[in-house]
Amino acid sequence: MTTAIETNKAVARRFYTEVITEGNLALLDDIIADDGRDSAVPAGNIKGREGFVEHITWLRANVEGVTAIVTDTVAEDDRVVVYWTIEGIQRGVIFGAPNSGRRFFGESISTIRFQDGRITEYAVLPDRLGIIAQLTGASV
């Protein structure tokens, strides 16, 4: 028997593998709640599933060959914490760094809240400093 926690962890993994890496935006209809909130979308921008579409579309346009790999998950009640990595080639402005065409690797931690097996809240804390250093050649 699959528990809600196991289901939520599986949905979180699908988000990174199928949506971010593979670009399957149609899957968002199945895994994001109607009023889901993505904190990575700038304040005042589109909310709900459309906000997730905006975020993922921007990411895939600015990171060529983007690959997101879930390294670890920890879950309790309605939340899943995901430690994941991202890799790709910069093709647009990222964290204020102009396009360098450089390959980069980053680590991130996300918290995801679920209701009835769907994502209701998504927040991510990327290693901005490490990524910016790789994109600009700055030492940290």
- CATH at 66: 3.10.450.50
- Counting the structural domains of the chain, the total is 1
List the domain range (segments joined by +) for residue 115: 4-136
pLDDT at 140: 74
Mean of the per-residue pLDDT values of the chain: 94
- Separation of alpha carbons 84 and 45, rounded Å: 25
pLDDT band at 43 (very low <50, low <70, confident <90, very high): low
Over residues 70-108, the pLDDT tens digits come to 999 999 999 999 999 999 999 999 999 999 999 999 999
- All residues at 6 or more sequence positions from 109 whose CB lies less than 8 Å from its CB, including other chains: 81, 82, 83, 84, 124, 125
Q: Name the residue with tokens 């993922």.
A: 56
pLDDT at 134: 97
Over residues 27-39, the pLDDT tens digits come to 999 999 999 999 9
